[in-house]
Amino acid sequence: MGVGRGLAARWRGRGISKGTNNSGSLGPSGSAIGCSDARGRGAREAGYAEGSPESVVGARSLSLCGFSASSFPVLCSPRFAAPLAAAMPVFHTRTIESILEPVAQQISHLVIMHEEGEVDGKAIPDLTAPVAAVQAAVSNLVRVGKETVQTTEDQILKRDMPPAFIKVENACTKLVQAAQMLQSDPYSVPARDYLIDGSRGILSGTSDLLLTFDEAEVRKIIRVCKGILEYLTVAEVVETMEDLVTYTKNLGPGMTKMAKMIDERQQELTHQEHRVMLVNSMNTVKELLPVLISAMKIFVTTKNSKNQGIEEALKNRNFTVEKMSAEINEIIRVLQLTSWDEDAWASKDTEAMKRALASIDSKLNQAKGWLRDPSASPGDAGEQAIRQILDEAGKVGELCAGKERREILGTCKMLGQMTDQVADLRARGQGASSVAMQKAQQVSQGLDVLTAKVENAARKLEAMTNSKQSIAKKIDAAQNWLADPNGGPEGEEQIRGALAEARKIAELCDDPKERDDILRSLGEISALTSKLADLRRQGKGDSPEARALAKQVATALQNLQTKTNRAVANSRPAKAAVHLEGKIEQAQRWIDNPTVDDRGVGQAAIRGLVAEGHRLANVMMGPYRQDLLAKCDRVDQLTAQLADLAARGEGESPQARALASQLQDSLKDLKARMQEAMTQEVSDVFSDTTTPIKLLAVAATAPPDAPNREEVFDERAANFENHSGRLGATAEKAAAVGTANKSTVEGIQASVKTARELTPQVVSAARILLRNPGNQAAYEHFETMKNQWIDNVEKMTGLVDEAIDTKSLLDASEEAIKKDLDKCKVAMANIQPQMLVAGATSIARRANRILLVAKREVENSEDPKFREAVKAASDELSKTISPMVMDAKAVAGNISDPGKQCLVWFTSAGKLTQEVDRVGRKYAPHDHHIQNLGAKTTDT
């Protein structure tokens, strides 16, 4: 029997023998590759943590389960639901349901009897037998708990268990007393009160016991995780192959143990989000392990051979260690969650703001360079840098609320319009005019102002979130001090610390009423705390006055926490759905009932759609951009007008209904245009995901005597980085504007984040290979990093394909192939062989992309006829790609006199387009079927 069921079995009297102490170490010497320091202890901890008896709750047995009314049906009665439920924690794991059930069933019978006696005037029968059953069950649990406390080395468990024992035993004593009193007088009111108090105490005390056990089990897992964390730092002192071999052997067992414990734990969790977070982080750690070993190997090899590239090798190693450490720290954080992480959004928003700020900083010089140069062409990299800055700043603005949001988005809109004016003047040859120069200077200054606003927003969110979390911890510690009449001075310090953090939040509040309310509470609590501290210093902590003061301070602190939490929440915008259909539904609900208070969610959803429209427009050219921006502005205007009518109490007026109808049509129009633009962008950007990294590989392995070797490498590295950035940006748009469900959106966001992190590491690995030609370790390391990047991008591509309508993507790809064919014809007419080959290659890539999409749809479909038809059409398309490319190269080889070769190419190209059309037509009657596949099921 596994440790997971140990306590439950022993509690039920089946007697599990105590476990043995399986202590051991990661390495032969018991230290981290011979380093007799703290990191050596970490190595031992990671392999086999300090011996803990099997009787200590395992990952399966002492997980607290979801506490539901079905387990305690009578507790839902109006008379007893409140007092009993108030005593219960919210359980977050499964197995303890089986442990609590026997106690709960007995207590349920008691409560029913009490209720019948109170409502119907019935006498309560003799409870001696049921109370004895409860007493036996509780005694067994306490006995097992005490045995565990005696054998464990967990000092926190030893400290926290005795109070829970006392609580349960005292409650059980009350029950016994109630039973004895009811034997004498079946109508006794004090006996009935004892019955309920005892019942509540047993439920609460039993839960305390089980939660304490569960926390001990979590600490055991965390010890292993921290051991791995400490051992990861040993990587920085590994400088020989011998050390590397030892390090690898030592790390493996600890990783295996941690993975097993995490897997067992996640199976017990009741919060699906927590399970997903644990699994994702653990999978990332597993994937990074071979990357870490490869990075360490190339570092050791480069350092010992004194070759070039040691700086890049160090970056690769440090990146992997930091990434693995971050994921393990995330595992530790999630393990300690017992309810949904309400601040998870804050950490995500803070991370998004910081990433946006870093992107803005990286583009600022290029943008200002374009603005300073009156001869710079409109539409070139400098103008695109400005558009990207405005895009990133807009993302930050959408994460803000109130005045902060209005200022950032307003500045973005103004600078976008002014940039359009500068670009238009330069396109007309008036870039050096005083008007154009003045406008350019205003945009440059405006970018500085915008950057400062973004910095302030990021700093404010991080400060408020940190203060909120700090207040929660300090108030928790303060409440313990307030409950102890003999507590030392540290509790007062915790209160002072909480007040200081609350003052920080007050100073960041935009609402003066909210700020003044918090500040007023601070003064009251400070005065009460000083008075209480004085009484305790005088030895009067147990006096009635001191106890009353302690209760006052405890209540005031709870009220303060509520106020600061509300202030932080009010500083953030209402959260719309993460995917398009969810936003549309939220927007529609508000449009249908603009007078109903939906906490601003409907308008937030519309703002989110408009913001995505602006982002799509930023990468479009000329009239296409203006058209999409006009649709965005139209939706914005109608939303503001409808909101204004609703605020004036005229949300049901004929004018409001007319506006709602117009807004509904405009939203539908905007959605269709956005999806069309997004699908075209996906078709273009994702037509070929791997060529840039393959070209980078060719440049990295070029012979040492190859001409312009370094220059070619730098150019291809830059192209690869730009390509990776475009893939990520386009994938994010597909997630926001496509038909993806919530899990697909989150998957895309995770893969984009990974791509952004891996890209510079791939370039570093390639540079090591460039500087160490023929080095096998360098080659293997680059291949590891390259494959990691390709695997992630393939995953991203699959998720993007899920996020958009298949038929629309195929139609966009077919249209792009026709445009490439037209380019090839122009190249032949103008005798441009390179342009011809490039066009034919682009056609081949798009055709292969269609094959990839078709293959995925075949794998996901459950319709055999559909699968067969699409597969047959795909096979025929596959046969046409290579002949078309070969025929194009043949024409290019003799383009000045193509002769029959030209006709052959036209024939093969025509055959390819026919087969592309044939594949697309297979989807027309199955469009609804495709949308209802499991991969595309909508969840909110």
User: Which residue(s) pair with 269 in the sheet?
Assistant: 93
pLDDT higher for 523 or 898?
523
How confident is the model over 459-476, as pLDDT tens digits?
A: 888 888 889 888 988 887
pLDDT value at residue 4? 31
User: Which residue(s) pair with 32 in the sheet?
Assistant: 35
**Residues contacting residue 632 through CB under 8 Å, at least 6 positions apart:** 610, 613, 614, 617, 670
Helices 490-508 and 544-570 sit at what angle, rounded to 10 degrees?
Answer: 30
pLDDT higher for 20 or 405?
405
pLDDT value at residue 601? 85
Residue 208 scores a pLDDT above 90: no
Closest Cα partner for 502 from 457, 459, 569, 562?
Answer: 562
pLDDT value at residue 743? 82
Q: What is the value of pTM for the model shown?
A: 0.66
227-231, 340-344, 363-367, 653-657: lowest mean pLDDT where?
340-344
How confident is the model over 782-819, as pLDDT tens digits?
A: 999 999 999 999 999 999 988 888 888 888 889 889 99
pLDDT value at residue 199? 77
How confident is the model over 826-884, as pLDDT tens digits?
A: 988 888 888 999 999 999 999 998 998 888 888 878 888 888 888 899 999 999 999 99
Instruction: Return the top range by mean pLDDT from 74-88, 124-138, 839-853.
Output: 839-853
Residue 646 scores a pLDDT above 70: yes
Can you tell me the mean pLDDT for 334-349? 66
* Chain centroid offset of residue 380 CA: 35
- Secondary element (H or E) of residue 715: helix 709-737
pLDDT value at residue 600? 79
Residue 17 scores a pLDDT above 70: no
pLDDT value at residue 639? 92
Confidence of residue 39 (pLDDT cuts 50, 70, 90): very low
Burial call 327-337: b when 16+ CB within 10 Å, e when fewer: bbebbbebbeb
Name the residue type at position 347.
S
Read off the DSSP letter of residue 280.
H
Integer CA distances (angstroms), 901 to 823, 834, 841, 887, 889, in order: 18, 16, 17, 7, 10
Residue 746 scores a pLDDT above 80: yes
Confidence of residue 132 (pLDDT cuts 50, 70, 90): confident
**CA angle (582, 583, 588) in 5-degree steps:** 100
How confident is the model over 515-573, as pLDDT tens digits?
A: 999 999 999 999 999 999 898 888 888 888 888 888 889 889 989 998 998 888 888 77
pLDDT value at residue 598? 77
Residue 40 scores a pLDDT above 80: no
Confidence of residue 501 (pLDDT cuts 50, 70, 90): very high
pLDDT value at residue 107? 61
Integer CA distances (angstroms), 550 to 86, 436, 498, 531, 793, in order: 21, 68, 16, 10, 58
pLDDT value at residue 71? 29
At 37 the three-state DSSP class reads coil
Residue 98 scores a pLDDT above 70: no
Residue 144 scores a pLDDT above 50: yes
Looking at the chain, the whole-number percentage of residues with pLDDT higher than 90 is 32
Closest Cα partner for 132 from 83, 75, 178?
Answer: 178
pLDDT value at residue 99? 63
Q: Give the tokens for residue 255.
A: 């990783």
Confidence of residue 378 (pLDDT cuts 50, 70, 90): confident
* Cα distance between residue 95 and residue 8, in whole Å: 9
Can you tell me the mean pLDDT for 590-613? 85
Is residue 873 packed enough to be buried (19+ CB in 10 Å), middle (13-18) or exposed (0-12)?
Answer: buried
103-112, 338-347, 462-471, 880-889: lowest mean pLDDT where?
338-347
Confidence of residue 242 (pLDDT cuts 50, 70, 90): very high
pLDDT value at residue 543? 85
509 φ, ψ to 5°? Answer: -70, 135
Looking at the chain, the whole-number percentage of residues with pLDDT higher than 70 is 84
pLDDT value at residue 30? 33
Residue 5 scores a pLDDT above 80: no
Note the helical H segments in 373-433: 381-398, 402-427
Burial call 625-642: b when 16+ CB within 10 Å, e when fewer: beebbebbebbbebbeeb
* Cα distance between residue 580 and residue 583, in whole Å: 5
pLDDT higher for 544 or 82?
544
Residue 72 scores a pLDDT above 50: no
pLDDT higher for 864 or 130?
864
* Cα distance between residue 92 and residue 78, in whole Å: 25
Confidence of residue 307 (pLDDT cuts 50, 70, 90): confident
Average pLDDT of the residues of the chain: 80
**Residues contacting residue 8 through CB under 8 Å, at least 6 positions apart:** 61, 95, 98, 99
Confidence of residue 308 (pLDDT cuts 50, 70, 90): confident
Residue 387 scores a pLDDT above 60: yes
Considering all CA atoms of the chain, what is the largest pairwise distance in Å, rounded to the nearest integer? Answer: 118
* Cα distance between residue 33 and residue 231, in whole Å: 10
Read off the DSSP letter of residue 66.
P
- Secondary element (H or E) of residue 186: none
How confident is the model over 414-425, as pLDDT tens digits?
A: 999 899 899 989
Confidence of residue 101 (pLDDT cuts 50, 70, 90): low
